[in-house]
Amino acid sequence: MTKKQNILIIGAGLCGSLLALRMAQRGYNVQLVEKRPDLRKQHQDAGRSINLALSDRGLKGLRLAGVEELAKELCIPMLGRMIHDTEGTTFLSKYSGRKDEFINSISRPGLNMLLLDEAEKMPNVEIIFNKGCKSVNLENASATFKDYTTDEEVTYRGDVVLGTDGAGSVVRKNMFNHKKFLFSFSQEWLTHGYKEITIPAAEGGGYRTDKGALHIWPRGEDMLIALPNLDGSFTVTLFLPYSNSDYCFDTLTTPEMVTEYFSKEYPDAVALMPNLVEEFFDNPTGPLGTIKCSPWNSYGKTLLLGDAAHAIVPFYGQGMNASFEDVVVFDEILNDFEGKEDWQKVFYEYEKARKKDTDAIADLAVDNFHEMKEHTASPLFQQKRKLETAFEAEFPQEYYSKYSLVTFKEAITYSEALKKGRAQDKAILNLIADGKITEVMSLREKLELVQKETNAIMHDDEIAFG
Ligand SMILES: Cc1cc2nc3c(=O)[nH]c(=O)nc-3n(C[C@H](O)[C@H](O)[C@H](O)COP(=O)(O)OP(=O)(O)OC[C@H]3O[C@@H](n4cnc5c(N)ncnc54)[C@H](O)[C@@H]3O)c2cc1C
């Protein structure tokens, strides 16, 4: 590929800004256009996904662009899930039996600002704010934007357009409406929405609860989670049905109802959220959905990446991680085509390599929605987790739980993690439920039994699904 080519990237969120940095490092001229004002100059996003869980796949993307260490300065390690029951009793369920495996809480605006700063340092990157993409000419790689400061329209053109404008992507909508090629699209909403609330820092600084964990209050249908921030606060997210339940967004319409619901379900959390009622009504309620589409590319001129191509529900903490992994996979494909001028082939090969994996993480994320809100508190699930962490601690090279395969083992793909992880889960749960794992067995014997059962299930699945 000729390195002086111009790449027009639409959307300077997490994926777009990392992609801009990496494409510039590869020698391309990059124009990165963002509809919102520069978040380094204007505070935004109150009440919307303020912090995120960053794990190994995301770190790999940051490493590729040489910014992993800078990002780590913004990270707070979370070693496991701190489960809170209705009595306020807590216990820590570790993410892994291996000591060096944990996830990190990181500020979304903090990370986005870091990536913008690093991209902007490159002489071949131009970042343009306050211009929202209105339409894309898919056949000639140009896009028209509305300038929100002047109200005027402006058109930018590249050799290719990379659409990283998030779940509501205008680039993707242009493909959907284009009609000259077959474009498949699906969007599935969960019955639940989310709302963010704050646990402020303790008076005089410090954290009001353990900062080294992702806190969960699983309640069957509903759930509260909390992730720590560097300033001593926690961002709490409530996941609640919109309707058809005694307590849902449709019924929590008065301060009394909100207080009643939280005091009943999350008494220990209420004590930590002095501004609960005010924030509940001030902060927006966000929907949660899965978007799948194909093809991601049109005419070898435009390509979708990140949430624009594959938005997922947040229950595996993998949306951003997957978007950063997109950049890694795209970069690998570019390596294969070094010196050859063929974007059509690059885009095609990229989707061929990547789509099955983003489909897999989308499905895994929905699985984890049910696991987190319903199963994390169940004795059977806890027995399974205990056994898995024991396997990981004792046989670190031989056993990876589904969670570890997805979160910590970036050398294998999401689709492989799904296949093996689901079979393993089924195997362990069946063996425990059938009483086949007994106290008299050694840990090695238990591991061998689980491996044997897992292989049998994977074999059966292969026969059934080809
Ligand atoms: C509640 C919640 C919690 C989450 N938690 C996690 C987590 O713990 N871990 C994790 O890995 N992921 C998490 N995610 C997912 C993560 O937020 C996304 O996967 C990630 O932000 C995707 O990055 P992106 O750059 O593709 O999209 P975005 O971050 O949405 O960025 C898109 C950018 O494009 C801009 N844009 C939009 N339209 C236009 C336009 N027309 N013209 C120009 N610019 C435009 C937007 O302003 C934005 O800056 C969570 C998501 C939610 C909703």
- Domain of residue 231, CATH code: 3.30.9.30
Q: Is residue 86 part of a domain?
A: no
* Alpha-carbon gap, residue 96 to 102, rounded angstroms: 7
Which atom of ligand 1 is nearest to 227's Cα? 8
Q: What is the C-alpha separation between 144 and 170, in angstroms, rounded?
A: 11
- Decide: 82 and 92 in contact? Cβ < 8 Å: yes
Within a domain: 418: yes
Domain span at 432: 378-465
Count, in order, helices (H) and strands (E) of the chain: 15, 19
Domain shared by 264 and 360, yes or no: no
Termini Cα distance of the chain = 38
Among 260, 286, 312, where does a domain finish? Answer: 286
Taking the CA of residue 17 as reference, the ligand 1 atom at the shortest distance is 25
Out of 17-21, 418-422, 433-437, 459-463, pick the least confident. Answer: 459-463
Q: How far apart are CA 453 and CA 343, in angstroms?
A: 45
Structural contact between residues 226 and 214, judged by C-beta atoms closer than 8 angstroms: yes
Question: Beta 6-10 vs 29-33: how paired, if at all?
Answer: parallel
What pLDDT is stored for residue 46 in this prediction? 53
With respect to residue 87, please indicate whether it lies within any of the assigned structural domains.
no
* 407 located within any domain: yes
Whether 264 maps to a domain, the answer reads yes
Query: Are 258 and 130 members of one domain?
Result: no
Would you say residue 199 lies in a domain? yes
- The stretch 218-233 carries a mean pLDDT of 94
Per the omega criterion (within 30 degrees of 0), is the bond before 295 cis?
Answer: yes
pLDDT at position 466 is: 60
Question: pLDDT above 70 covers what percent of the chain?
Answer: 97
- Please give the distance, rounded to the nearest whole angstrom, from the Cα atom of residue 423 to the centre of ligand 1: 31
The minimum-distance atom of ligand 1 relative to the CA of 164 is 26
Within this chain, do residues 167 and 255 fall inside the same structural domain, yes or no? no
- Let me know whether 49 and 130 are in one domain: yes
Q: Are residues 161 and 310 in the same domain?
A: yes
Q: Are residues 45 and 137 in the same domain?
A: yes
Using a 6 Å CB cutoff, which residues line ligand 1? 10-16, 33-36, 49, 52-53, 132-133, 164-166, 170, 194, 237, 286, 306-308, 314, 317-321, 323
15-42 confidence digits (pLDDT tens):
999 999 999 999 999 999 999 999 999 8
**What SS3 class is residue 202?**
coil
Total domains, the chain:
3
Alpha-carbon span 132 to 134, nearest angstrom: 6
List pLDDT tens digits, range 184-208.
Answer: 999 999 999 999 999 999 998 899 9
Do both 194 and 296 map to the same domain?
A: no
- pLDDT-derived band of residue 392, with 50, 70 and 90 as boundaries? very high
Q: Evaluate whether residue 91 is within a structural domain.
A: no
Give pLDDT tens digits for 292-350: 999 999 999 999 999 999 999 999 999 999 999 999 999 999 999 988 879 999 999 99
Q: Let me know whether 182 and 318 are in one domain.
A: yes
Q: Give CA–CA dist 333/330, Å, rounded.
A: 5
The pLDDT of residue 47 is above 50 = no
Q: In a mutational test of the pocket of ligand 1, which residue from 131, 165, 195, 296 has the highest number of ligand atoms less than 8 Å from its CB?
A: 165
Task: Give the pLDDT of residue 13.
Answer: 98
Q: Is the pLDDT of residue 465 over 70?
A: no
Phi and psi, residue 299, nearest 5°? 55, 15
Q: Which helix (H) or strand (E) holds 281?
A: helix 276-282
Q: Does residue 136 carry a pLDDT above 90? A: yes
